[in-house]
Amino acid sequence: MRIAVFGAGAWGTALALAFSRGHDVVLWSRESDDVAAMRADGENRRYLPGIPLPANLQLTDSLQDAARADLHLIVTPLAGLRETARSLQAAAPGTPLLWACKGLEAGTAKLPHQIVAEELGADAACGVLTGPSFAAEVAQGLPAAVTIAARDIEFARYWVQALHNNRLRLYANDDLIGAEVGGAVKNIMAIAAGVADGMGFGLNARAALITRGLAEITRLGLALGGRRDTFMGLAGLGDLVLTCTGDLSRNRRVGLLLAEGKTLPDILATLGHVAEGVSTTREVAALSARLGVDMPITNAVDGVLRGTLLARDAVEQLLARDPKQE
């Protein structure tokens, strides 16, 4: 089976490595210089330094060539999903599609499946690959488990069976909305967890934040049509715990640097990678307000990122809220 991975960042490269152990894989980058560098170096030195690329992994900057595949897997930042899906629809219409992008589209607050439906049509064979997975660990062949969610459960089951291997375990789910909401909003909670950790508030505070963060994710997900059980699985709780506690989390790193008093532009320049939680926060805060969904942690993070609230004041504000029934 030929799999085309679109997006040669850390996660795209990691998935290309994982699937190249059992399939014919081509990794596409829009930047010809990046492709040339990977060919010359034998690794993706920019995003996954020190991890060799296998000889059977094909590299290209030609979308037309890469599109000739049995499966398209888009692993660009969310901002690139629409353009890439549109280009693939023109190049190879009808090819099954998975995406591994997380977040809400800036300016529209649309989830990835809504973007894909607009570009490929509502009946397109497609789904999301999501769950607790740091790119560096997957690239090294360390064990991980993720979800493929699609409206058509048979589509999800087929690709779970086709892509599953003994290092990347896959589970099928038909709650596409719930899986995407979990993957998007957990990044906001990771920023909050980073702030709390950076302020030295301790492990009890982190546990409380994760738990109440899960409540926020669930409330928004249910309001959008997701199922409660999804948020207790890999795409919900699993992804949330990893992102809020793991040192490889870019979004948690944003929170840690905010706690140090760094400005957001300086933080983003330092990271060198996209931290989807930054752009997602504003969209989720606005969306939850329109829907009347109570999301105090999200609103606090939004205030910090906008510069209207100091990181320490945001934490104190959350702690000072009136007691609630759980």
Instruction: Output the CA torsion 241→243→247→252 (10° steps).
Output: -120
Q: Which of 102, 110, 186, 262 is catalytic?
A: 186
Token readout for 113 is: 């499946």
Q: Which of 245, 122, 98 is nearest to 179 (CA)?
A: 98
Q: Which amino acid is at 158?
A: Y
How many angstroms from the chain centroid is the CA of residue 255?
17
Q: In the chain, at which residue ranges do the beta strands (DSSP E only) sit?
A: 2-6, 24-28, 58-60, 71-74, 97-99, 126-130, 144-149, 168-173
Question: Phi first, then psi: what are they for 292, rounded to 5°?
Answer: 70, 30
Token readout for 314 is: 């945001």
Sole residue written with tokens 């950076």: 198
State yes or no: is 186 an active-site residue: yes
Q: Are strands 126-130 and 144-149 parallel, antiparallel or unpaired?
A: antiparallel
CA dist 181 and 177 (Å) reads: 6
Token readout for 292 is: 């009347």
Q: Which amino acid is at 48?
A: L
Q: Please report, for residues 103, 120, 175, 177, 292, the alpha-carbon distance to residue 114 in angstroms, rounded to integers and kept in the order given.
A: 12, 10, 14, 10, 21
170 touches 132 (CB < 8 A): no
Catalytic site positions: 186
